[in-house]
Amino acid sequence: MEAGRLKTGFTGSGIDRADRFRLDEARLAELAARLDARLLRLDGLDPVLDADGRLSWGSLAELEEGRDTVFLGLDGDRPLFAPLARPVPGQRAWAVFHLLTRMAPEDAALWGAARSLAEWHARHPFCGACGSATAFFRGGWGRRCGGCGTDHFPRVDPVVIMLAEHDGRVLVGRQPQYPPRRYSALAGFVEPGESVEEAVARELFEEAGVTVRQVRYVASQPWPFPGSLMIACLAEAEGDALSLDADELEDAFWASRAEIRAALDGAPDAPFLAPPPYAIAHTLLRHWAEAERLAPGRPPA
């Protein structure tokens, strides 16, 4: 498995995002008026699935009066839109996770983009430069300030997620809010003025007291809760002694390839519960665990 070729969750929607139409209000109106235009059905921010477990779509006639729509793009020639959903008070992100295990990867990718955009709009009703109200534009891919004219665009927050490797084992940890027995790769936000490699080294040292070298990129994944880009890496640890930050980690341990494979396969005797398949932590663990089988005696790419 080569870096850059791994399939990760919330990717692969396969649609044409059609950025060329986003500033063309007349073209967007024409697309929305077409009989074959489809509107993504949502329950708050969560997806609505049909009897086959696929995303449910309706016509734009179902749109609530006064509600804006995000232009998602073109599925072949068919225009796809999503309502600018309002976050529902008390609706927590974890409630949707059981649906994600049933969703086709391309559906999760499309819904994830709509969810991230909805969250971004909800958080940016006012201009960060002058405080004036902002207005929806670019088919939902921007907001414009009515006071100073500043344009604001959706942002993603870079997050490193990584496995430190030492003597044929990798470090996995658990946060207090995880489900029982769940362990995962360590992760943290990239800070201003910091490279991905520096963020990996800092986070591993801060959370687990582990010093690393030779950080290698593996893959990336959008994470729509609310809008992060997960950057998966591997790094070589200089030692295996741990000093855990109790505010970040409840526990951590070094796991062998056999233990990682058992967890990923859901074996009853596995030492921990693996992250779900739609999480890049699952992909990263699988990549590391299978690397030895693909190239015995060589470090993973």
Q: Is the pLDDT of residue 9 over 60?
A: yes
Cβ-contact 174, 164 below 8 angstroms: no
Angle at 14 between CA 159 and CA 21, to 5 degrees: 90
Tell me the mean pLDDT in the region 43-68: 94
pLDDT tens readout for residues 156-186: 999 999 999 999 999 999 999 999 999 999 9
Q: How far is CA 17 from the centre of its chain?
A: 18
Q: Which domains does the chain have, with CATH numbers?
A: 1-122 (no CATH), 124-154 (no CATH), 157-294 (3.90.79.10)
pLDDT tens readout for residues 96-119: 998 999 999 999 999 999 999 999
pLDDT of res. 86 = 76
Q: Is the pLDDT of residue 14 over 90?
A: yes
CA-to-CA distance for 60 and 35, rounded, in angstroms?
9
Q: Is the pLDDT of residue 122 over 70?
A: yes
pLDDT of res. 85 = 81
pLDDT of res. 92 = 67
Q: How would you write 35-61 as a 3-class SS string?
A: CCCEEECEECCEECECCCCCECEECHH
User: Where residue 294 falls among pLDDT bands split at 50, 70, 90?
Assistant: very low
Q: CB-based contacts of 299: which residues, under 8 Å, 6+ apart?
A: 165, 291
The β-bridge partners of 228 are 157, 223
Q: Is the pLDDT of residue 295 over 80?
A: no
Tell me the mean pLDDT in the region 41-53: 94
pLDDT tens readout for residues 206-255: 999 999 999 999 999 999 999 999 999 999 999 999 999 999 999 999 99
pLDDT of res. 95 = 75
Tell me the mean pLDDT in the region 77-100: 83
Of 83-97, 184-198, 284-298, where does the model show the most confidence?
184-198
Tell me the mean pLDDT in the region 140-168: 97
CA-to-CA distance for 164 and 255, rounded, in angstroms?
11
Mean pLDDT of the chain, nearest integer: 93
Q: Is the pLDDT of residue 140 over 50?
A: yes
